[in-house]
Structure 1
Amino acid sequence: MIQVTKTLMLDERALEETFVRASGPGGQNVNKVETAVLLRLNLDRAGLPPPVRARLEKLAGKRLTLEGEVLITSQQHRTQERNRAEAMAALIRLIQRAAIAPVRRVATKPSFGSKLRRLEEKAHRARIKRGRGGGAERE
């Protein structure tokens, strides 16, 4: 099990790593060593609570496949190990963001002072605009 938050654990069996050849840094190694990492998280096997899974699916966006897998790629580094660590860190950050429930906004009434300030500003604007008009009558 992989610890994501204090209360949320991720089943390792839901993860699958694949290594492919990467573009980018590496010199001649790029053409012969598979350093890029494709990390797949199967959401059905991950064991996430339904609200967290729903938020994760929304946050994943294009990284969510039709099979219900989140696909994270990393090819920034020259070694498999660093790319693996980077991909895992990116996945954990994504799940941690999904684990935070949004705070419900409580609608409040505007204060008496804010109503007065709004009306004063409206009256001030009206006086400014009234003073602009005129054309022929002003001369």
Structure 2
Amino acid sequence: MLRISNNVELPDHEIEISQIRAQGAGGQNVNKVASAVHLRFDIPHSSLPSSYKERLLALRDQRISKEGIVVIKAQSHRTLELNREDALQRLKALIQEAAKTRKTRKPTKPTRSSQRKRVDRKTQKGQTKAMRGKVKT
């Protein structure tokens, strides 16, 4: 079970992880064994709330395909368990990023005092402009 937030959890069967271990190609150090994890997550068929799904599908991220499948690859000269944890953390971070809602400010009407200040400033500017060029006697 992957906990995303207090009220959102993903069951293990929704996250498909394939693990690969392979020797380095010719010319590389043969002692190093690369461990790779490919995490696959299907957004439309997941148990995520619909608001999360919509925001995830709207995200512009190279890890999300048009069909709504998230593919995260963790590859390093580390153990498979560490790569698996890394991939799960990346998936969690991606979902949390999509879950953030933008706060929109409600447009407010200007107060009577701010309107008065604005008018006063405009009249002051007008008076100073009118005074320019005139010679005091």
TM-score after normalising by structure 2: 0.65
Percent identity, please.
31
Q: How far is the alpha carbon of 1:85 from its aligned partner?
A: 1.2
4+ aligned runs moved over 4 Å, structure 1: 20-23, 111-127
Question: Does the 8 Å contact 2:40/2:71 carry over to 1?
Answer: yes
Shift of residue 8, structure 1, vs aligned partner: 0.4
In 2, the alpha carbon distance for the partners of 1:122 and 1:35 equals 70
Task: State how far apart, in whole Å, the 1-side matches of 2:40 and 2:57 are.
Answer: 13
CA distance in 2, matches of 1:113, 1:13: 61
Equivalent position amino acid for 1:44 in 2: P
- The amino acid that maps onto 1:46 is S
1:103-125 per-residue CA deviation (whole Å, 9 max, x = no partner) reads: 34311124456556767887899
Higher radius of gyration, 1 or 2: 2
* Structure (1 or 2) with the greater helix fraction: 1
For structure 2, the residue ranges without an aligned partner over 5 or more in a row are: 130-137
CA 1:89/1:121 → structure 2, altered by over 3 Å: closer, same or farther?
A: farther
Quote the residue 2:13 is aligned against: 13
Query: If each structure's strand is expressed as a fraction of its own residues, which one has the higher value?
Result: 2
Where does the alignment leave 5 or more consecutive residues of structure 1 unmatched? 131-139
1:100 and 2:100 matched? yes
Q: 1:71–1:114: structure 2 CA closer, same or farther, 3 Å change rule?
A: farther
Aligned residues: 127
Pair 117,68 (structure 1): closer, same or farther in 2 beyond 3 Å: same
2:40 corresponding residue in structure 1: 40
Residues 19 and 121 (structure 1), Cα distance of their counterparts in 2 relative to 1, 3 Å cut: farther
